[in-house]
Amino acid sequence: MRMRKWLIVIALILVFVLSVFCGFMVKSYINFSKKGSENNAILAENTQENKAVNTASAEITVSPNSEVIMTQKFNKCGHTVTKREEAPREIVNLNREKVQEYFEGWNIDKFTPNEIEISKEVSGICGEHYVLRESDGYISISTKNDIGEYIFKGLTDIPVQYLPEDDLNNLEKGIEIVGRDNLNRFLEDFE
Ligand SMILES: [Zn+2]
């Protein structure tokens, strides 16, 4: 009878120890899986951030009223010629990658929805090397090409008839002017 009492006590102690042990195990398991899910949450957040960054860069596309600024650098004369024009319809809504494909051979220096700047180096001289001469009684304009040839562009409406002798002599030799603005300024002086 006494022996049985002891057995019950031992059994109770065992049950107590076991339940404490089990409780501990369960608690640490919960902690562990909590940490796991926390890590997963962080991972998911990062993935989302990455996605956001990716979409942001992919989302820059050409807007319909965008402009393209094209700069050509001519290696023989060192001049740059810049043109600004409306973006061609073909590139509207395209991203940088596709626009680069369209402007093959050009560098994209700036890419925003409303403005795209591209540039490239070109061999030879720019088309703004002018030579003024006298043709058919008027001042004529020619441009010089890469190999030093003069290409006739047309006559101005400035007659040479009343020009001073110095000007006539210079026109005889050919007056070289570089740049469209300089040309216009020079011709304005005659008018
Ligand atoms: Zn030039």
Q: Summarize pLDDT for 20-78 with one digit per residue, the tens.
A: 554 656 566 656 555 555 555 544 554 555 455 455 555 799 999 999 999 999 999 99
Interval between CA 68 and ligand 1 midpoint (Å): 22
Interval between CA 39 and ligand 1 midpoint (Å): 62
Interval between CA 180 and ligand 1 midpoint (Å): 10
Under 8 Å between Cβ of 131 and 142: yes
Return the amino acid letter for 158: I
Under 8 Å between Cβ of 99 and 108: yes
Interval between CA 171 and ligand 1 midpoint (Å): 21
Interval between CA 128 and ligand 1 midpoint (Å): 6
Interval between CA 170 and ligand 1 midpoint (Å): 21
**pTM beyond cutoff 0.75:** no
Under 8 Å between Cβ of 85 and 67: yes
Interval between CA 136 and ligand 1 midpoint (Å): 28
Domains of the chain: 67-122 (3.10.20.420), 129-190 (no CATH)
Under 8 Å between Cβ of 121 and 71: no
Strand segments (E) across the chain: 67-74, 80-86, 107-111, 115-122, 129-135, 138-144, 150-159, 175-178
Q: Summarize pLDDT for 117-159 with one digit per residue, the tens.
A: 999 999 999 999 999 999 999 999 999 998 989 999 999 999 9
Give the pairing of strands 67-74 and 115-122: parallel
Higher pLDDT, 94 or 25: 94
